[in-house]
Amino acid sequence: MTPTNPHEAPVLIVGGGFSGTLLAINLQRMGARVTLIERDANGVAHGLAFGTRRPEHLLNVRAANMSAFPDDRDHFLRWMRFDTADQANRFVPRLTYGQYLRELLHSAMAAGPDRITVMTGTAVAAETGAQGVRVTLNNGRTIAGRALVLAMGNFPPTPFAPFAGLRGSIYAADPWQPGLIASIGADEDLLLLGTGLTAIDVALSLEAAGWRGRITALSRRGLLPHAHAETGPQVQHVPCPQVRGSHLVAQVRRRAREIGWRAAVDELRPHTQNLWRRHDLAAQRRFLRHLRPWWDVHRHRLAPVVAGRIAALRAAERFTVAAGRVVAVDAAAEGARVWWRPRGEHSVQAMDVGRIINCTGPAADLAGVSDPLLRGLLTAGCIRPDAHRLGLDVDHLGRVRDAQGTARDNLFAVGPLTRGAAWEIIAVPDIRRQVWDLARYLTNSHWVAGEGL
């Protein structure tokens, strides 16, 4: 591999969604050269989260906390020309935020035309060595750099074995596949697998498209995300809690009785990653097994207007939430008959639906991921799953650990791929800090204007 000058060779970023785009922008601001590799030209600066074209899909975080930069917390508000408390409390469409990211990238490219290169292609292989890294694209082209950052976001949902034999017109394995909403009959009854944010998005899109049928949303516990308050809670900064495990849960419950559950959860936000890392693997596993569903519905909330729309659908008996497991599925003349067991019961019930949509959320276990780049790195021993199989094993700097557990100095990961190490790393406020810190590390930037460091 040809030796590279650290000041001349670019940082290679695979994935042009929010994490990869914002990392590229920060690296450019700090003087580094970057090559941003994205398989879908239309997905650059959007990714899955902000690539939606549907105005009913709103951000789940208030505008006041959606700046792309931790050193300029009002940046998004200024971009939106929001200057009142009411405007700062709004939940804007995700497509608008996608426009914001794309404009930021274009501005960064204009400010440093020799420092950011955007390439369209699928990264299928990578080599890492003492002299740098090299990425191979599906067209055979190779790109050299000094470091490689995996910013590949979320992966498609995990397939469900009971639905493997159903024809594609009945079962949708990916809720984001193009044309899905338009293909659903106006009066079709649907089964959504999952009751989280993805299921909410699908219900909103169906309603906006004029669909008139009924939805059953099924998950193991039947928990829906809670709603944000109409106005943002005034959360005071508190020290990081020193207690752990069940004592920490008890402390949060006491705080919830004192100041309300939203504020009690939000107080933890600056400390969540540290709290996660302070718990050993056994304690983390207990959290994932017993508390994760309740954490998710309290922490990852709905915009009030979205919660109102779902409440209206439920009141009209067009959106029903069920807790249980699918046992078997039989194809029918006009859809499918689903056999499912309600939670806590032994008997099995039947449900007839016209379409089934997998809304269980992204896959995380590398063992089931088909991406050629990750499969190749895994086979070569350059990467390994984290202990909980939530993504890649990385250290606190984002350096990827190889099969022997050694952190590599020129292979990094950001965003949802690092959930096993950080836990809370899917929302904008968390990722913007992560990529900011990594950009500073890669450029050896000890002081950055605006932050005073």
pLDDT over 80 (residue 415): yes
Per-residue model confidence as pLDDT tens digits over 50-65: 666 777 888 889 999 9
Rounded average pLDDT over 308-326? 96
pLDDT over 60 (residue 453): no
Per-residue pLDDT, 2: 42
Query: Which domains does the chain possess?
Result: 11-154+363-443 (3.50.50.60), 157-226+302-360 (3.50.50.60), 245-299 (no CATH)
Q: What is the dihedral of CA 405, 408, 414, 417, to 10 degrees?
A: -30
Q: Is residue 250 classed as helix, strand or coil in its secondary structure?
A: helix
Q: Which two tokens stand for residue 220?
A: 């193991």
Per-residue model confidence as pLDDT tens digits over 193-250: 999 999 999 999 999 999 999 999 999 999 999 999 988 777 788 999 999 999 999 9
Q: Which two tokens stand for residue 10?
A: 């670019």
Per-residue pLDDT, 194: 95
Q: One-letter amino acid identity for 305? A: V
Rounded average pLDDT over 269-274? 92
Per-residue model confidence as pLDDT tens digits over 154-181: 887 877 778 877 777 889 988 888 889 9
Q: Give the CA angle between residues 204, 314, 233 to the nearest 5°.
A: 70
**Mean pLDDT taken over the chain:** 90
Is the sign of the CA dihedral 283, 286, 291, 295 positive or negative? positive
Rounded average pLDDT over 249-257? 94
CA-CA distance, 53 to 438, in Å (whole number)? 30
pLDDT over 70 (residue 80): yes
Q: Which two tokens stand for residue 278?
A: 């302070």
Per-residue model confidence as pLDDT tens digits over 276-306: 999 999 999 999 999 999 999 999 999 999 9
Query: Residue 149: CB partners within 8 Å, gap ≥ 6?
Result: 11, 12, 13, 14, 20, 23, 398, 412, 413, 414, 438
pLDDT over 60 (residue 83): yes
Rounded average pLDDT over 184-201? 94
pLDDT over 80 (residue 450): no
Burial of 333 (0-12, 13-18, 19+ CB in 10 A): exposed
Say what the pTM is. Answer: 0.91
Say if CB 108 and CB 25 are below 8 A apart: yes
Percent of the chain with pLDDT over 90: 73
More confident residue, 386 or 46: 386
Per-residue model confidence as pLDDT tens digits over 337-356: 999 999 999 999 999 999 99
Per-residue model confidence as pLDDT tens digits over 367-377: 888 899 999 99
Per-residue pLDDT, 163: 83
